Structure 1
Amino acid sequence: MSGRRQSARLSAAQTRKDASENGATAQSGGGNASRAKTTSRPEGSMSEDDWDAGDESPADVDEHADSMSEGEYEGRRPAKKQKLDKSPPKTGKQTKTARSTGKGRKSNKDCLLVELPLDILFEIFGQCPPQDLISLSRTSHLLRTHLLSEASRTIWRAAREYADGPPVAPGMTEQQWAHILFGKPRCQSCNAPNVHRVDYGLQRRACVKCLKLNLVVTSRFSRVFPELDASILDLLRYTNIGGHSHGHASNSRFYWQKDIEDMALELEKLDQDIEAGVSDAGKKHTFISERKELLKAINQHGRICSTWTVNASLRREEEKAEMMRKRFNDIRTKFMEMGYVEEDIEAIKDASSVRQATVLTDRGWKIIRSSLEAEIRATKTERLRNERFRIANKLYNAYKRGLNASQWRTLPQESDVFDHPAFKGILDSENDDAKSTEADFASIVALLPEIVSSIQAARSVKLLELIQRPPAGPVPEDAEPGDIPPSLPHPHAVDSALAVFVCKRGCRYLSWMRGNRNATPAYIGQDSAATHNCAASPYHPWHHTEPSVKTVFELSDRGVRAAAALVQTVGLNDRATCAQMDTLNARFLCKTCMPTRSGGGLNYAVYSWRSAIIHFVSSHVDKQVPQWERLDDARAESLKRAETDTTLAWACNHCAEHIARCETRTKVIEHIKTKHDIAEPDVPHDLVRVLDLEQTPAMVHIPGPGSKAEFNCLRCEETASRARLFILEGVKSHLKAKHKVGAPVEGRDWKKSPNV
């Protein structure tokens, strides 16, 4: 590109570069001239500008301020805010004293390190990591000169290799590469902090703001630099991560704007040298060829560095985790020396004061000890309490193993028993220094039969109070004063078939198994109510945390109506008992439910009398009057033989095999046949249903009128055809299709078979 075609943009860039060079020259010839004469530079050393020239930074603006920020960043350090001091001016003596006793930057004369021999200095430098070398280069002008010299290159390389850093980038020195990798995470353009990502394609560390301002994508190159040829991009470093991509790579290439300007000036200078006869065209071709080879090496090196960055991040996480493990181990050792056990100390493993990647010091231990010890003591208290509960639970299970499964059904839950004052005195003991044993419960175990009987009696009294409470019948809206409202059905005893209870605390575990979370389960009779526990799992009724004596039962009005309707359906009165209904074992259809149609008939769900009550209370919450129909005995017996109980509610009545977990009826029968050699197990002698879990109802098909094949065709002449049976619609269709009878008439064209 000739000088005549030089654009205003490139001219401005050249002007800025010349001004920067002139300013640096003028400054070096000023107040620092004496230092330049007295301080000799080692042979082959790098200048400070060479140290900072990795990303086109300006020359030093103040050699006395030996901070790296003076040369490694493109922007000038912001001026300090002037301090407003309204105190009277100091005299000459005061000023001299203040200067001599101040805490400002120490000179080289005050630094003992610079007085050491050079070989000892280099030995010290050889033991430092890259971060320390960078810091040392900013503490003293003399140290900076030595560390930036060519002679120190091996020191920087050894430090980089010890830190497991990637090879030095093409076109950069060891010092420049160490600064990019291990220097402070600041933007090299605007000095913004917390810039942790290094762009290895651009060989610089830049913040998002500077990336947005300085990156030029290939598609916008002709608009930003209309006077330049796009072939210049082949000579420039680039990245695939734009300023607006949030760190995600793309297929586009982004170039640093100042790189474009500098490369254009460099090519411009080569063209001018060729025109002036200073050099030939071969020099430019050589430059372009070497530049392309350099870019190829930079791209290959960038892929190596990207892999190193990922591995370094993982390595840092591992080192951090290892430091946290060591800190926890040190804390654990100290607490174990104080007498605590490892099981209790594990409780503080995730505490914020423990999960720190710092070494535990004596001062830090004094700060965190009290709070951590309080948490450990609380864990110890809870652990000992749980151990006491495990012992009590073991003893109560041993007591239950001595009973039959038929007695388990009405046994109080563990929490009810442990809530008894005799147990609470030991379970809630505040003595955390002694470990409890089974011997501590010996006197209480002897009282278990008495404790169980008292809990059962108290439960019966509460249920009886609900039965004896007079019912409150509904008052019609148009009732006149003095009118007596109709009385509701009411159970006469706790074993009445009308004694339907619900838990006021809203327990819904039976409904959860059906998927209906808004329903409330019902319990029929005293024995059924005894199986309920608010905090217990339906399959593990003895494992819970809250005493079920807190369960608040109430008599269910809707459940009583449903039970009364069922009792009337089978021909009994309101004084029928649960035992009488269990003996009848009838099956019922719910006429409130909408049946499904199939095969010309209707499909209904079939319920036992207990499951029918639970079904109405749970499913028909918006209905007040139940509608039942008793299934005829023939169909009922057929369904009973086909019914399969798949609920985990059964247990063997000869052993304690299912004390911890009930099983299905099929598995319990198989157990009885195998373990107890009983060929035909019987209910309730051999196996019992311990839990009142709702079964999936069986389905029955009720044929519609005329849906049974019981009609003969009178138009057929052959005997076999005349004996053929049709359903009503079938025989009419047959007459229309076969005999062309448009309006078949009973008695003339078809009749009901007398043999059906």
Structure 2
Amino acid sequence: MARQSVRIQAKLAAAEDPQMQDATASSTVNSHTHARDDEYKEYEEEEPEKHARKRARKSTRSISDSKRRIPEQFRKVRGKLGMLERLAKDVPLDVIFEIFFYLDPSDLLRLARTSKDLRCILMSKTSENIWRTARGNVQGLPPLPFDLNEPQYAHLLYESYCHVCNHKGRCDFIYWSFRMRCCKNCSATFPGIFDSEYCYNQPADFRGCNILPKDCTQGAGTRRHVGNLEIAERFKAEYEALQTPEDRSAWLVRKSEERRTLDAHGRLCEDWHRARLANRTGELSNIREQRKDAILDRLGEIGWREEAEKIIASSSHPWDEFTTHPSVKQTKKLTQYGWNSIKSELLEMLSAHKTKRLAQERDKTAKQRYFLLEKEYNAVWLTTDLREPFPALGDIITNRIFEDLIWDTPDTEALTDVFFREKLSQYLPRIIEEWRPAKVQELVEVMQKSRPTASAADLHLATSVFECPDCRAKMQYPQIFYHFCCVYNPVPNSLSEERIKKIYSYDNKARMSHKVIFSESGSRIVKTIVESCSLDPATTTIQDLHSANPLIECPACYLAPMQSYSELGRSFMRWPYAVIHGGTNHNLTINSFGEETEQIIACEPEFRVAEAICCAHCHTALHSTFNSLLEHLKANHSDITGLDIVVTSSLRNLRAEFVQRHWYWNPRARLLMQGGAFRYNKEESALVAGTSAQS
């Protein structure tokens, strides 16, 4: 028979002899009690009874059922059939010790809590060598401090619950100076080392001796040095118990030296603890990576690995949707049972992602096609005569023909810019033919609200002025069809509204000509200007008024300085700008300046406004200057009949009727761009004229 300890042999003998069972049990209990009270008391692990785990209550029925299933000899044994209990009873001590030499302190700490026999063995002073060897098995672990025994040291290093609130959750923050772990909430209960209640509650001799432990709370941005009131009170009691000044002085020196030693040891422990957490994090990361690879292999067997890899590749961070899925990021090895339990959930996630991905890819392809169509449309739009209404981009992309081409063409078929250029050449004339009459009729209906007898021909009259209710801008035909507010607002009930929102940051690019209103005030101003030119408001067109080109003065602005000039003078303008400028406080004077007319016109600058006029031959937008028009005509249209007459003309002839056949005001530009206000000062004009005559 294998050698057993005397203690175990006595227990077995008592168990075999019923008559001695009671006496043996009594003596055994007494011997254990005395042994723990005397020999092992100083070596006990500091674990208050409140930390002990509570057993879950079981119903009477479950207890009776378990008794019927468990053999008689194991019914009162904790653990799985009491294997650890039998280890302590049947296995020789030297074999047990040999096993323990291969463990680390955390293993010994947990074994000591499995059974009373193992606890008696491990908490004995004679087991100190086992703990020392187990501590040596841990790489980089600092030596045992002088104020803790082996179980206490292991308890501080490896037990992760909070020592203040006993919360069972993981608590990796340790106050090494206080010899305790503490969660973030409990850290706030410690007093600051400079708090008046903490500082001035200690003896005066404590100050400057550095004997009280202090530590730094956890958390970036909220770090503060704190003390431990319980330790401070204990030190105070020890200090006050000393009677002589010599004893107190020696006590202070001894405690100060101990504090320096403990602080140095705490720094070593903190370095080891951080390295341990980092290693543990790496181990868990490796386990998760292995589990993910195993899941990918299983998905490859059923044809879903490619979708999972696309999820991983789509993220620039390591926490993509697949890797962070609860079924994937677990720190457990994948088993067949585990795979069967997560398979349906993963397939559901991958299927939903695939549906979403295909929709996004389709939207991306459609977006690329929309931009190609927009590029080709803009090329057509910039070289088209816009003096008649022309559909905007929104009217094209929401057209059923192009919508079907963009969304219904398979992704495998590439649609290039050449493709859309050809389609625009093919379908755009038909779209304009259907679109233009409908939009003109909408504008006529807006006009008929103020003029019931109005017709499409009245849109060309100079007195037909419209206004945007949003920005209050005034405009004429066909400017309405190119006004920003009318072009970039959404179209209600559009079949393509949801699709367009996916492509463009704004809602849509389709026009709403019915959004504008007829401007009564603008119409009255133009009527006054037309009558001052001896023209009939009922028949004078916009082009007729451009040819007349009346000179207009606003007397109310005589003393007001220009926005960009500091000199004072009379304010003059041309008629398009007068529509914007005129109001209730501005009574305009038109073409009644007598002999000063030539001097006033001489002060009119050559306005340079980007893209204010268009070439009537190629419809290119130009600056509103005579020189820019001449340069363009000579460079691009040198074969035009009568161009030499234009070249020898001056700025004054730029507005003449025979010159306007080469250009027209850009309908995409606002009225205020068709010339602006300028100042005339009679004294300064005379001075300039005299200087010119002398030269």
Match of 1:257 in 2: 229
- Residue in structure 2 matching 1:464, options 435, 441, 450: 441
Match of 2:543 in 1: 579
SS in 2 for 1:359: coil
Paired with 2:283 and 2:599, the residues of 1 have a C-alpha distance of 78
Query: Which consecutive residues of structure 1, in runs of 5 or more, have no partner in the other structure?
Result: 1-28, 62-66, 71-76, 276-280, 474-485, 507-518, 617-622, 712-756
Q: What's the offset of the Cα at 1:526?
A: 1.9
CA contact (8 A) 1:463 1:526 kept: no
1:411 to 1:36, Cα distance in 2 relative to 1, 3 A: farther
Q: Is 1:234 paired with 2:234?
A: no
Q: Residues 86-125 of structure 1 correspond to what in structure 2 (within 5 A)? A: 100=74, 105=79, 109-110=83-84, 118-123=97-102, 125=103
Paired with 1:710 and 1:677, the residues of 2 have a C-alpha distance of 41
Match of 1:199 in 2: 175
Percent of residue pairs bearing the same amino acid type: 14
Q: What's the offset of the Cα at 1:90?
A: 8.0
Deviates further, 327-336 or 577-586: 327-336
Q: What's the offset of the Cα at 1:422?
A: 2.0
1:292 to 1:503, Cα distance in 2 relative to 1, 3 A: same
Paired with 2:191 and 2:379, the residues of 1 have a C-alpha distance of 82
CA contact (8 A) 1:460 1:526 kept: no
1:133 to 1:95, Cα distance in 2 relative to 1, 3 A: closer
SS in 2 for 1:428: helix
The structure with more helix, counted as a fraction of residues = 2
Q: What's the offset of the Cα at 1:565?
A: 0.5
Q: Is 1:494 paired with 2:426?
A: no
Match of 1:5 in 2: none
Q: What's the offset of the Cα at 1:370?
A: 1.6
Q: Residues 620-659 of structure 1 correspond to what in structure 2 (within 5 A)? A: 628=588, 638-641=603-606, 643-645=607-609
Paired with 2:325 and 2:62, the residues of 1 have a C-alpha distance of 50
Match of 2:405 in 1: 426
Paired with 1:396 and 1:525, the residues of 2 have a C-alpha distance of 25
Q: What's the offset of the Cα at 1:689?
A: 5.3
1:555 to 1:209, Cα distance in 2 relative to 1, 3 A: closer
Q: Residues 535-546 of structure 1 correspond to what in structure 2 (within 5 A)? A: 535=488
- Residue in structure 2 matching 1:296, options 248, 260, 267: 260
Q: What's the offset of the Cα at 1:525?
A: 1.4
Paired with 2:171 and 2:147, the residues of 1 have a C-alpha distance of 23
Match of 1:368 in 2: 346
Given residue 329 of structure 2, which amino acid in structure 1 is its aligned partner?
Answer: V
Question: What are the Cα deviations for residues 686-724 of structure 1, in whole angstroms up to 9, with x where unaligned?
Answer: 9995843687996745669xx98999xxxxxxxxxxxxx
Given residue 163 of structure 2, which amino acid in structure 1 is its aligned partner?
Answer: C
Match of 1:562 in 2: 522
Q: Is 1:186 paired with 2:151?
A: no
CA contact (8 A) 2:488 2:510 kept: no
Q: What's the offset of the Cα at 1:417?
A: 1.8
Q: What's the offset of the Cα at 1:38?
A: 10
Q: What's the offset of the Cα at 1:412?
A: 3.0
SS in 1 for 2:525: helix
Q: What's the offset of the Cα at 1:289?
A: 2.8
1:465 to 1:149, Cα distance in 2 relative to 1, 3 A: same
CA contact (8 A) 1:415 1:546 kept: no
Q: What's the offset of the Cα at 1:626?
A: 7.1
Q: What's the offset of the Cα at 1:562?
A: 1.6
CA contact (8 A) 1:388 1:436 kept: no
Match of 2:643 in 1: none
1:247 to 1:569, Cα distance in 2 relative to 1, 3 A: closer
1:388 to 1:436, Cα distance in 2 relative to 1, 3 A: farther
Match of 2:324 in 1: 355
Given residue 569 of structure 1, which amino acid in structure 2 is its aligned partner?
Answer: I
Paired with 1:103 and 1:684, the residues of 2 have a C-alpha distance of 112
Paired with 2:227 and 2:221, the residues of 1 have a C-alpha distance of 16
Match of 2:642 in 1: none
Question: What are the Cα deviations for residues 233-256 of structure 1, in whole angstroms up to 9, with x where unaligned?
Answer: 83533336689x998345xx7532
TM-score (normalised: structure 2): 0.61
CA contact (8 A) 1:344 1:380 kept: no
Given residue 180 of structure 2, which amino acid in structure 1 is its aligned partner?
Answer: R
Q: What's the offset of the Cα at 1:291?
A: 2.4
Q: What's the offset of the Cα at 1:219?
A: 2.7
CA contact (8 A) 2:554 2:587 kept: yes
Given residue 255 of structure 2, which amino acid in structure 1 is its aligned partner?
Answer: R
Q: Residues 43-58 of structure 1 correspond to what in structure 2 (within 5 A)? A: 50=43, 52-53=45-46
Paired with 2:342 and 2:236, the residues of 1 have a C-alpha distance of 59
Paired with 2:176 and 2:551, the residues of 1 have a C-alpha distance of 81
Q: What's the offset of the Cα at 1:648?
A: 8.2
Question: What are the Cα deviations for residues 625-665 of structure 1, in whole angstroms up to 9, with x where unaligned?
Answer: 97556697755664542x443x6889999999x9xxx9999
Q: What's the offset of the Cα at 1:288?
A: 3.5
CA contact (8 A) 2:580 2:672 kept: no
CA contact (8 A) 1:186 1:195 kept: yes
TM-score (normalised: structure 1): 0.57
Q: What's the offset of the Cα at 1:367?
A: 0.9
- Residue in structure 1 matching 2:359, options 381, 384, 408: 381
1:383 to 1:593, Cα distance in 2 relative to 1, 3 A: farther
Match of 1:524 in 2: 476
CA contact (8 A) 1:416 1:547 kept: no
CA contact (8 A) 1:347 1:376 kept: no
Across the aligned residues of Structure 1 and Structure 2, the Cα RMSD in angstroms comes to 6.4
Q: What's the offset of the Cα at 1:387?
A: 1.6
Paired with 1:369 and 1:152, the residues of 2 have a C-alpha distance of 50
SS in 2 for 1:569: helix
Paired with 2:386 and 2:528, the residues of 1 have a C-alpha distance of 32
Query: Which consecutive residues of structure 2, in runs of 5 or more, have no partner in the other structure?
Result: 1-25, 491-502, 592-596, 639-646, 655-659, 688-695
Q: What's the offset of the Cα at 1:465?
A: 3.6
Q: What's the offset of the Cα at 1:529?
A: 1.2
Paired with 2:420 and 2:63, the residues of 1 have a C-alpha distance of 92
CA contact (8 A) 2:177 2:263 kept: yes
